[in-house]
């Protein structure tokens, strides 16, 4: 039997009870204490102490046994709720359903101005995913929040991973898409637990983010870059693709370009928002992916002429089409001859057709962005500068996607070091070409080890 020593006197633990399958014991110390001994799921033994505030002397001599027992029952009941919460059980008064909770969460985010209109509208798509899961698994369109637990949330993510398809309707969704789904439901359930107290625990605990496989960026080689550029002059969207190649803007950012954000006097382009075409409507969003996405870039040679050419063409279209011209998008750069914004799908579809015309491998519009980054790195720009140019939130993102493109610069750095230290002479390879040396820095006896690259 467990015991507790106070001074020289030993008091044994008494009244062993069972609480939720675990031992409950009462022991005497300087104050009347409740001690709970229980085991976590990993088998680790834990103890929890809670005092009643009643001393041993009061308990023994002053008739406080009834009060102590009353407080003991209150503590047991409170601890019972704690154990239930750890096991994923809910409070009985949570009559709200899962979808009602999600809609309340969406409205809360909108009221607090934490979400843009774009995110607000697109969030309905996540509710449709949850409805599809509940209908498929349980033949219901909604479920009480009190019945939805950690295991069901895991099943929901697995269901999406195994059944949902990508944009082409054929390939499975990527880990990145699952990550976006998780980024909606995880904060929603946390809000329901911590802020609204609708559930007794955060059911998202222990659910790891899906693994996102980093893909190597596909881009145009220098030769293909020139071939692609050559066919743009004769195409209606040629000038727009030239701007995308030069600046590597995201498609949604490019659609948001407006003449008021183009400083012709100081020759600066300000990227300040994005346009998304969703459910047959345009959604404007000035809150980009990160603060770094809001950026200013200089006019490159010839860019001013391209922009002035587009502007003159728009003015001419207004005169030619008059009443047929849509003035809703006046001031925007990416509009057609009738003043309508170019649809994103049209912009993407034409890239492949132009690649075929140029006789090069097909790339997507987003890969034109990668091509811009590769051209920057090839010109000697640092990863930090590429990050600023593309508007990445962190340099880690830039490094993950484009680090392999820096290898040439690393080889050049090794060549400069080899020339400076005259490694050829040291290695007895005076006639060897410096371009065939790769320097491999290893901290080994404070020496620099030079490895000969095989031909």
User: Is 1.10.443.10 the CATH number for 222-379?
Assistant: yes
CA distance linking residue 117 with residue 120, whole number of Å: 5
CA distance linking residue 17 with residue 338, whole number of Å: 81
Which residues are bridge partners to 24 per DSSP?
Answer: 17, 36
- Per-residue pLDDT tens digits for 128-168: 999 999 999 999 888 888 889 899 999 999 999 888 887 66
Highest mean pLDDT out of 17-26, 49-58, 312-321: 312-321
Identify the H or E element spanning 59: helix 56-61
Q: Which residue has the higher pLDDT, 265 or 52?
A: 265
Q: What is the band of 358 on the pLDDT scale with cuts at 50, 70, 90?
A: very high
| CB atoms closer than 10 angstroms to residue 140 | 11
CA distance linking residue 70 with residue 33, whole number of Å: 13
| CB atoms closer than 10 angstroms to residue 107 | 11
Q: Which residues contact 198 (CB under 8 A, 6 or more apart)?
A: 91, 94, 96, 101, 145, 192
Q: Which residue has the higher pLDDT, 364 or 432?
A: 364
pLDDT > 90 fraction of the chain, expressed in percent and rounded: 33
CB contact at 8 A, 214 and 400: yes
Q: What is the band of 279 on the pLDDT scale with cuts at 50, 70, 90?
A: confident
pLDDT, mean of residues 412-433: 65
- Per-residue pLDDT tens digits for 29-45: 466 677 777 666 556 67
Q: Which residue has the higher pLDDT, 364 or 430?
A: 364
- Per-residue pLDDT tens digits for 160-207: 988 888 766 777 887 788 888 999 999 999 998 888 888 888 888 888
Q: Where are the domains of the chain?
A: 3-86, 98-195, 222-379, 407-452
Helices (H) and strands (E) in the chain, counts: 17, 13
pLDDT, mean of residues 14-22: 47
- Distances 326 to 314, 316, 317, 335 between C-alpha atoms, Å: 11, 13, 10, 10
DSSP per-residue codes, 259-304: GGGEETTTTEEEE--EEEEETTEEEEE---SSGGGSEEEEPPTTHH
Q: Is the pLDDT of residue 220 over 50?
A: yes
Per-residue confidence (pLDDT) for residue 454, from 0 to 100:
35
Per-residue confidence (pLDDT) for residue 399, from 0 to 100:
74
What is the separation of C-alpha 78 from the centre of its chain, rounded to a whole number of angstroms? 38
Comparing 15-19, 198-202, 381-385, 387-391, the range with the smallest average pLDDT is 15-19
pLDDT > 70 fraction of the chain, expressed in percent and rounded: 74
């Amino acid at each position: 039997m467990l015991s507790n020593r106070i001074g020289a006197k030993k008091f044994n633990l008494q009244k062993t009870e069972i609480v939720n399958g675990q031992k409950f014991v009462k022991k005497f110390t300087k104050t009347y204490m409740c001690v709970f001994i229980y085991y976590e799921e990993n088998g680790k033994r834990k103890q929890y102490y809670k005092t009643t505030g009643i001393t041993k002397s009061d308990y023994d001599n002053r008739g406080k046994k009834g009060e102590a027992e009353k407080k003991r029952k209150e503590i047991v009941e409170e601890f019972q709720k704690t154990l239930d919460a750890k096991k994923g059980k809910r409070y009985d008064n949570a009559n709200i359903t899962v979808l009602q909770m999600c809609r309340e969460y969406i409205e809360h985010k909108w009221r607090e101005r934490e979400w843009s209109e774009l995110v607000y509208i697109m969030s309905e798509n996540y509710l449709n995913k949850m409805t599809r899961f509940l209908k498929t698994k349980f033949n219901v369109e909604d479920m009480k929040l009190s019945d939805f637990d950690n295991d069901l949330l895991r099943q929901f993510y697995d269901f999406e991973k195994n059944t949902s398809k990508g944009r082409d309707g054929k390939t499975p969704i990527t880990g990145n898409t699952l990550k976006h789904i998780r980024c909606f439901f995880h904060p929603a359930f946390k809000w329901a637990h911590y802020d609204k107290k609708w559930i007794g625990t955060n059911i998202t605990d222990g659910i790891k983010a899906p693994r996102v496989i980093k893909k190597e960026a596909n881009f145009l080689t220098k030769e293909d870059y020139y071939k692609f550029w050559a066919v743009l002059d004769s195409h209606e969207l040629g000038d727009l693709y030239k701007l995308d190649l030069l600046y590597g803007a995201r498609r949604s950012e490019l659609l948001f370009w407006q003449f008021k954000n183009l400083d012709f006097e100081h020759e600066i382009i300000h990227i300040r928002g994005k346009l998304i075409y969703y459910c047959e409507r345009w959604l404007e969003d000035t809150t980009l992916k990160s603060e770094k996405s809001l950026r200013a870039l200089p006019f490159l040679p010839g860019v001013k002429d391209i922009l002035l050419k587009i502007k003159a063409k728009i003015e001419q279209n207004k005169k030619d089409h008059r009443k047929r011209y849509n003035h809703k998008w006046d001031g925007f750069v990416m509009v057609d001859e009738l003043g309508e914004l170019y649809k994103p799908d049209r912009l993407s579809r034409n890239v492949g057709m132009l690649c075929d015309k140029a006789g090069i491998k097909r790339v997507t519009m987003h890969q034109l962005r990668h091509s811009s980054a590769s051209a920057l790195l090839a010109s000697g720009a640092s990863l930090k500068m590429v990050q600023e140019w593309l508007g990445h939130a962190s340099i880690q993102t830039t490094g993950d996607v484009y680090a392999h493109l820096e290898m040439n610069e690393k080889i050049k750095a090794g060549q400069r070091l080899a020339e400076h230290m005259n490694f050829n002479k040291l290695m007895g390879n005076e006639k060897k070409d410096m371009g065939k040396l790769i320097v491999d820095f290893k901290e080994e006896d404070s020496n620099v080890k030079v490895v000969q690259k095989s031909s």
